[in-house]
C-alpha cells in the first residue's frame, strides 16, 4: 500500500541525508524534492494517489527535515542542493530516474536535469518553472550576493539557540509564514520539521538556510535549457499560486520574456497545466493534481528521447 513508507538515510561527509520511500524498490524510480524550508512530508498526501508500481523517494535537503546541517561556517549554495540530489542518486545506484520538485525543489530538479540530462527520464515541476529568477539588474544581483555573506556572518555572531515553542505556537508560526498552507498541511510538515524537547518543539531546519546563495539564469539560457529537455516536462501551476500564467507579466521583465518564449517556442513541447489551488495545492488538495501527474508518469514518450 502506498500509504506505507520506510525511512532511509544516506551517509555524506558531514552526516547524512534523510529520505522516506514508498512503493516497490524495483519499480520505476521517482525522486521527489521539497521546497525551501519544507521537508519530505510535503509529498505525504500526493504519493498515495500516484501509480502504485513506481518507487518514490522523497529526500530532505541538507539543513531541512531530518537531514544533517552543513558544517559550521558553511553557507547554503543553491548548487549544494543539486549536489545532494547527485549524492542520493549515487547511493541508490540510480542511472536514470524521474524528478518531481515543488517550488525550490523544482528549481533544483531543473538544474540537475540541465547538468545531467542523461540521468533524467521525466521532469515534473510543481509551482516551479525549473530555475530561479534572476535579479533585474547588476546592482540588484550584487546586493543579493552581499546579503548572503552579511546574513551568514550575522547569524554566526548571534549564535542563537533554536527557539522552543508549544505545538500550537509552532504550527501558528509556520502558517503565518506560509499563507498558502492549510492547518492540516502545516501539521504534516511539522511532523518532520520539528523535534520535541523538554522546553517544547524546536524547528529542525538550519537557520543558515535563509542565507541561501541562488544561481540565476538569463531568459536566453532558460529557453535553451528548456529546449534541451523538451517532450518530457510537465509543469503544474496553481491559479492562486506564485506562478499564475495570466498574472506572470506583472512579476517582472524576466518572467514576461520567459512567458513569451513559452508561447512562441516551448508550448508544443512542454506540458503546462493550470489547476485551481494555492502554492501548496499538491499537499492541501492532492487529488487536484494527482490525475495529471499519474497520466504523465505512465505515458510513453512519443518522440525520441533527447
Q: By C-alpha distance, which of 31, 28, 48, 49 is closest to 40? A: 31
The DSSP-derived string for 246-297 is GGGGGT-HHHHHHHHHIIIIITTTSEEEEESS-TTHHHHSTHHHHHHHHHHH
Instruction: Reduce the DSSP state of residue 206 to 3 states and report it.
Output: coil
Q: By C-alpha distance, which of 93, 83, 124 is closest to 235? A: 124
Q: By C-alpha distance, which of 279, 124, 147 is closest to 212? A: 147
DSSP 217: -
Residues designated as active site: 103
Instruction: Reduce the DSSP state of residue 68 to 3 states and report it.
Output: coil
Instruction: Reduce the DSSP state of residue 38 to 3 states and report it.
Output: coil
Burial grade of 83 (CB within 10 A; 0-12, 13-18, 19 or more):
middle
Q: Which residues contact 144 (CB under 8 A, 6 or more apart)?
A: 135, 214
Cβ distance 231 to 306 under 8 Å?
yes
Cα(135)–Cα(103) distance, integer angstroms: 18
Amino acid at each position: 500500500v502506498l500509504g506505507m513508507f520506510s525511512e532511509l538515510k544516506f551517509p555524506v561527509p558531514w552526516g547524512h541525508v534523510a529520505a522516506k520511500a514508498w512503493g516497490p524498490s524495483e519499480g520505476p524510480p521517482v525522486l521527489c524534492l521539497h521546497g525551501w524550508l519544507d521537508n519530505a512530508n510535503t509529498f505525504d498526501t500526493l504519493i498515495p494517489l500516484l501509480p502504485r508500481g513506481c518507487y518514490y523517494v522523497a529526500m530532505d535537503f541538507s539543513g531541512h527535515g531530518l537531514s544533517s546541517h552543513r558544517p559550521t561556517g558553511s553557507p547554503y549554495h543553491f548548487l549544494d542542493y543539486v549536489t545532494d540530489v547527485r549524492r542520493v542518486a549515487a547511493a541508490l545506484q540510480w542511472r536514470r530516474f524521474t524528478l518531481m520538485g515543488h517550488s525550490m525543489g523544482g528549481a533544483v530538479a531543473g538544474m540537475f536535469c540541465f547538468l545531467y540530462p542523461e540521468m533524467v527520464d521525466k521532469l515534473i515541476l510543481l509551482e516551479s518553472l525549473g530555475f530561479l529568477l534572476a535579479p533585474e539588474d547588476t546592482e540588484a544581483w550584487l546586493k543579493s550576493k552581499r546579503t548572503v555573506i552579511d546574513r551568514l556572518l550575522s547569524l554566526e555572531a548571534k549564535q542563537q539557540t533554536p527557539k522552543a515553542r508549544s505545538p500550537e505556537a509552532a504550527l501558528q508560526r509556520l502558517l503565518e509564514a506560509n499563507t498558502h498552507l492549510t492547518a492540516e498541511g502545516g501539521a504534516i510538515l511539522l511532523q518532520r520539521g520539528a523535534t520535541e524537547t523538554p522546553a517544547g518543539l524546536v524547528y529542525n531546519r538550519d537557520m543558515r538556510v535563509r542565507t541561501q546563495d541562488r544561481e540565476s539564469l538569463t531568459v536566453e539560457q532558460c529557453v535553451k535549457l528548456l529546449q534541451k529537455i523538451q517532450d518530457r516536462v510537465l509543469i503544474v501551476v496553481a491559479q492562486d499560486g506564485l506562478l499564475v500564467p495570466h498574472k506572470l507579466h506583472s512579476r517582472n521583465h524576466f518572467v514576461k520574456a520567459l512567458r513569451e518564449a513559452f508561447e512562441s517556442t516551448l508550448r508544443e513541447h512542454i506540458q503546462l497545466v493550470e489547476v485551481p489551488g494555492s502554492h501548496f495545492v499538491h499537499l492541501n488538495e492532492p487529488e487536484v493534481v494527482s490525475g495529471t501527474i499519474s497520466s504523465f508518469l505512465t505515458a510513453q514518450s512519443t518522440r525520441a528521447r533527447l
